[in-house]
Amino acid sequence: MAEALPSYETIALARRGRLLTITMNRPDAMNAVNLAMHDELAAVFKFAIADADSDVVVLTGAGRAFSAGGDLDHIARNAAEPERFDHEVEVAKEIVLAMLDLDKPLVCRMNGHAVGLGATLALVCDVVFAADNAKIGDPHVGIGLVAGDGGAAIWPARIGFGRAKEYLLTGELLNAKRAEEIGLVNYALPAAELDAAVDAFCDKLLSGASFAIRATKKVLNIEVKRIFNDVLAPGLELEKQSVRTADHREAIQALKEKRKPNFGG
């Protein structure tokens, strides 16, 4: 009999046989990542690594979004007290490295928009199934921040440096069909077909040779982890510096006032 699942404030867990589903569970906030969710994401992926009762893991969001990225109130507090962000730098490393250390296939059910950190969480998954009405993007620069929490590592790995620079330097959001065309996500499907496609893919993996599948993922992730080991620490250090800039504070004020920011450089 499978062991009981742990309980979290902002994340829900469910089992179907040997499939474990992780659901970011702040639907009223479009699953924006606050401090509690940030810490719990690190914890839940560490749990998934150790979970003896699963062979495949799905990551998704509750409600109409996958994840809208950072919670605005949380971002504003970090800007006002930048030392708070120093803790998050260490946790951000734990989140991404735990996702990469997970040898079970990690499938993204991108049920809605995936923005900023939400995009990184989606793209670090092994295979991404997206609803075709969803958008994905990493607009860190739009709020005066460096895309340091994984975007600068995973976007080039998926679509090459030319396209990655285009989208990370502008912060532009892509619709899911365009993301599928350029290889950023694997599939863009009508929302009504998303669950069936994810379930069919997971069932195919679950019926396969578990050791061979996990070991193959380990081999594939050697290069992905090398990239993250080179890029993540300096990226987060630069993001930490950008949290302390006037441009970032201006961007937050502009968001609160629902206007375009006036960046000063």
Residue found by looking up tokens 């092994």 in the block: 126
Distance of CA 188 to the CA centre of its chain: 17
Cβ–Cβ under 8 Å, residues 107 and 127: yes
Residue 159 lies in a domain: yes
The confidence band for 236, taking pLDDT boundaries of 50, 70 and 90, is: very high
Enter the pTM of the model.
0.95
Residues 6+ apart with CB under 8 A from 259: none
Phi first, then psi: give them for residue 70, nearest 5 degrees. -75, 140
- Joined together, the tokens standing for residue 101 give 């250390």
Q: What is the pLDDT of residue 83?
A: 84
d(Cα 13, Cα 31) in Å, to the nearest integer? 15
Note the pLDDT tens digit of each residue in 70-111. Answer: 888 888 888 888 888 888 889 999 999 999 999 999 999 999
Residue 15 lies in a domain: yes
Residue 116 pLDDT exceeds 80 = yes
- Joined together, the tokens standing for residue 74 give 């949380």
d(Cα 195, Cα 73) in Å, to the nearest integer? 32
Q: Which of the 8 DSSP states describes residue 23?
A: E
Cβ–Cβ under 8 Å, residues 58 and 102: no
Cβ–Cβ under 8 Å, residues 75 and 149: no
Which residue range is the domain that position 73 belongs to?
11-192+209-257
Residue 92 lies in a domain: yes
Side by side, which strands form the sheet with 114-115? 114-115, 135-137, 174-175
d(Cα 27, Cα 25) in Å, to the nearest integer? 6
Residue 5 lies in a domain: no
Residue 37 lies in a domain: yes
Across residues 176-203, what is the average pLDDT? 98
Residue 1 pLDDT exceeds 80 = no
Residue 198 lies in a domain: no
Note the pLDDT tens digit of each residue in 27-76. Answer: 999 999 999 999 999 999 999 999 999 999 999 999 999 999 888 888 88
Residue 21 lies in a domain: yes
Residue 59 lies in a domain: yes
Number of H helices, E strands in the chain: 9, 9
The confidence band for 202, taking pLDDT boundaries of 50, 70 and 90, is: very high
Q: What is the pLDDT of residue 265?
A: 75
Task: Render 178-212 in DSSP notation, one character per residue.
Answer: HHHHTTSSSEEE-HHHHHHHHHHHHHHHHTS-HHH
Q: Are strands 135-137 and 174-175 parallel, antiparallel or unpaired?
A: antiparallel
Q: What is the pLDDT of residue 13?
A: 98
- Joined together, the tokens standing for residue 30 give 């479009």
Across residues 183-212, what is the average pLDDT? 98
The confidence band for 137, taking pLDDT boundaries of 50, 70 and 90, is: very high
Domain CATH code at residue 66: 3.90.226.10
Q: How many domains does the chain fold into?
A: 1
> Nearest CA to 251 among 241, 265, 237?
265
The confidence band for 222, taking pLDDT boundaries of 50, 70 and 90, is: very high
Q: What is the pLDDT of residue 258?
A: 92
